[in-house]
Amino acid sequence: MTARPAVHLAIAVDDLVAAREFYGSVLGLAEGRSSDHWVDWDLHGHQLVTHVVGGPVRPAGDSEVDSHQVPVPHFGLLVSVDEFHALAGRLRAAGTAFLIEPYLRFPGQPGEQWTMFFRDPAGNALEFKAFRDETQVFAK
């Protein structure tokens, strides 16, 4: 049996304690291997590694989408609608400031999706999405 392809993503953080609190407690990701300067996270079957680097994380810029300023670069995950709303609730309870509040895009159209943007404590931008119909991820 062939393993499901998975993504490996490495990002810069400036504080592993803050990263552990955010990625482990707020986002609810399981922690894998770690050292004193990096931590592996299970991002729904994908490997996310937070590496401590000197200095702040600097965003490159943003791009206008649906009258919102979308941070670039960013990364995230597609989750179920229920997981999306549960995560939005956990983020609000943790006092996370949204760059783009959770909202519904393309209502009643192909590709209907919930989306939200926020930053981790180091300044990395994240987007989480939930499609009403997961077969519509690439619908035009």
pLDDT of residue 55: 76
In the chain the domains, ranked by start, together with CATH numbers, are 8-52 (3.30.720.120), 61-136 (3.10.180.10)
* pLDDT for the residue 2: 58
Q: Which residues of 50-87 are buried (b: 16+ CB within 10 A; e: fewer)?
A: bebeeeebeeeeeeeeeebebbeebeebebeeeebeeb
Point out the residues of the chain with pLDDT beneath 50: none
Confidence at residue 6, expressed as pLDDT on a 0 to 100 scale: 82
